[in-house]
């Protein structure tokens, strides 16, 4: 089971510079689709072991990260492979779709 870590401008290097797969969700507490989709993201994280890092970034508390990764719509999910963005997904995406994408990167 993978834990969802709250990332910000002080600890983001934990996912940016590490080897392996990281799934990072940019959200805001005032964003209705973000709030509605949050439990599904948590369920998804529980389906994977600790080899896949799951995290979230509150855009209100991390404006520099939001600009750095050019997050303009919410929620936005970024998939990192060995520190590089390999997938950018905007809007609510089903767990099945996201799970399929994660599995594809794990299998590669």
pLDDT tens-digit profile of 76-104?
999 999 999 999 999 988 999 999 999 99
Which pLDDT score, from 0 to 100, does residue 89 have? 96
**What are the structural domain ranges in the chain?**
4-107
Among the options 23, 34, 57, 79, which is catalytic? 34
pLDDT at 1 over 80: no
Report the alpha-carbon distance of residue 94 to residue 59 in Å, rounded. Answer: 22
Sign of CA dihedral 71, 39, 92, 81: positive
34 is catalytic: yes
Which pLDDT score, from 0 to 100, does residue 96 have? 93
4-107 CATH choice from 3.40.30.10, 3.20.20.70, 3.40.50.880, 3.40.190.10: 3.40.30.10
What confidence category does residue 16 fall into, taking pLDDT thresholds of 50, 70 and 90? confident
Which pLDDT score, from 0 to 100, does residue 108 have? 81
Which pLDDT score, from 0 to 100, does residue 68 have? 95
Residue 75: cis peptide before it, omega within 30 degrees of 0: yes
Among the options 5, 9, 28, 31, which is catalytic? 31
Percent of the chain with pLDDT over 70: 100
Coil, helix or strand at residue 102: helix
31 is catalytic: yes
Mean of the per-residue pLDDT values of the chain: 94
Contact 25, 53 (CB under 8 A): no
The CA R_g of the chain, rounded to the nearest whole Å, is: 13
């Amino acid at each position: 089971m993978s834990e969802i870590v709250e990332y910000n401008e002080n600890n983001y290097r934990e996912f940016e510079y590490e080897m392996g797969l990281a799934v990072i969700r940019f959200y805001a507490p005032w964003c209705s689709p973000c709030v509605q989709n949050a439990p599904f993201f948590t369920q998804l994280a529980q389906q994977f072991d600790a080899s896949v890092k799951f995290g979230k970034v509150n855009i209100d508390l991390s404006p520099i990260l939001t600009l750095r990764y050019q997050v303009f719509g919410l929620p936005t999910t970024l998939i990192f492979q060995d520190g590089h963005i390999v997938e950018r997904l905007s809007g609510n995406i089903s767990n099945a779709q996201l799970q399929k994408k994660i599995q594809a990167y794990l299998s590669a």
